[in-house]
Amino acid sequence: MAGSIPTKINMINQTRKKAANDTKLVAIILTAIALIFFVVMLLVPLISVFLKAFEQGASVYYAAISDPMAMKAIKLTLTTIAIVVPINTTFGLIVAWAVAKFKFKGKNLLITIIDLPFAISPVVAGLIFVLLFSTSHGLLAPLLTSLGIKIIFAPAGIVIATLFVTLPFVARELIPLMEAQGTSEEEAALTLGASGLKTFWLITLPNVKWALLYGIMLTAARAAGEFGAVSVVSGHIRGLTNTLPLHVEILYNEYKFSAAFAVASLLTIIAIINLIIKNIADWRIKQQLKND
């Protein structure tokens, strides 16, 4: 009986060792699959964009991105980002603060409304704005016509469509973090006599700065690359309502492949910069949650 105990211990150790080896093998296989998928689906296309962009030389690349129509598309894209990001950042901060720090009726409805752009196709969203703001058959056509305001097939429509599709990003990054942090620090500040606004600037905002940056970068990236909703409301008017993604489509349809990929490389560069900043912000958020 006593002799069988070491045998059982050896069997248990062997079983554990086999299980550990199997787990390690599974981890290696899954990691290899993930890396292969990353290389095939992301890295290779990314490299291909730049190879195709410089296929005919640096002079053709520079000519494509410095073309007057391309410059106007770049200007419109950057202008749209400059308008959309501050508005949705402010909106996201206000909504996240209200949802995470206060209890009120209709909170679930508000969260549902925030998530609405995720549920609606961008193309459908664009069609909704056409039905609302078109001066020929929109619901608000008489009012817009009387005021001399043109939204559809104009930069204003692009801004509105981009505002809609990027609306949730800042709020959705801030709400979970604010809820995890609770309200103890804000309550302590209010007890000591701080005003609500001062509490927000000195307590709430510094605690969520990295999540806020993460949301801002997501918003900027989506605003730069949005195609569906913008395509519907823009009218594809060269030099007026063409953003960078729309300009890439036009160049590609005209079989100007090197020029199309040259302009597309600008969007790729924006995406890479956003990705780097997002990863830094994500790492800092995890460090902050770990320290808390």
What would the pLDDT profile of 52-78 be if each residue is shown by its tens digit? 888 888 888 999 999 999 999 999 999
- Is there a single domain that holds both residue 8 and residue 67? no
**Domain co-membership, 174 together with 247:** yes
Task: Looking at the structure, tell me whether residues 135 and 223 fall in a common domain.
Answer: yes
Mean pLDDT value across the chain:
86
Kindly report which listed range (28-32, 183-187, 238-242) carries the lowest average pLDDT score: 183-187
* Size of the chain, expressed as the number of residues it contains: 292
Of the residues 53, 78, 97, the one at which a domain ends: 53
- My answer on whether 42 and 115 are in the same domain is no
In this structure, the answer to whether residues 76 and 10 fall within a common structural domain is: no
Residues 253, 171 within the same domain = yes
Residues 12 and 83 in one domain: no
* CA angle, residues 35, 41, 46, in degrees to nearest 5: 105
How much of the chain, in percent, has pLDDT values that exceed 70?
91
**Band of pLDDT at residue 15, cut at 50, 70 and 90:** low
| CATH number reported for the structural domain that contains residue 233 in this entry | 1.10.3720.10
Q: What is the pLDDT of residues 270-280, one digit of tens each?
A: 888 888 888 88
CA distance 195 to 184: 15
Query: Based on the domain organization, do 146 and 74 belong to the same domain?
Result: yes
Residue 17 in this model has a pLDDT that exceeds 70: no
Q: In terms of domains, do 174 and 118 share one?
A: yes
% helix, strand, coil for the chain, step of 5: 80, 0, 20
**Domain ends where: 53, 69, 94?**
53
SS3 136: coil
Q: Given this model, what pLDDT does residue 289 score?
A: 64
Answer yes or no: do 18 and 113 share one domain. no
| pLDDT the model gives residue 222 | 92
Q: In this structure, are 177 and 73 located in the same domain? A: yes
Q: Average pLDDT in the 1-5 region?
A: 54
Cβ neighbour number for residue 157 with a 10 Å cutoff: 24
Average pLDDT for residues 205-216, to the nearest whole number? 87
Q: Give the structural domain span for 1.
A: 1-53
The pLDDT assigned to 98 comes to: 87
Q: What is the pLDDT of residue 277?
A: 84
Question: What global pTM score does this model have?
Answer: 0.83
At 185, is the pLDDT very low, low, confident or very high (cuts 50, 70, 90)?
confident
Token pair of 39, please? 């290389």
State the residue for tokens 């204003």: 156
Long-range contacts of 223-227 (CB under 8 A, 24+ apart): 223/77, 223/80, 223/81, 223/84, 223/85, 223/162, 223/166, 224/77, 224/81, 224/267, 224/270, 224/271, 225/267, 225/270, 225/271, 226/122, 226/161, 226/162, 226/165, 226/166, 227/122
- Counting the structural domains of the chain, the total is 2
Task: Decide if pLDDT at 49 tops 80.
Answer: yes
223 and 144 in one domain? Answer: yes
Question: Over 80: is that where the pLDDT of 196 sits?
Answer: no
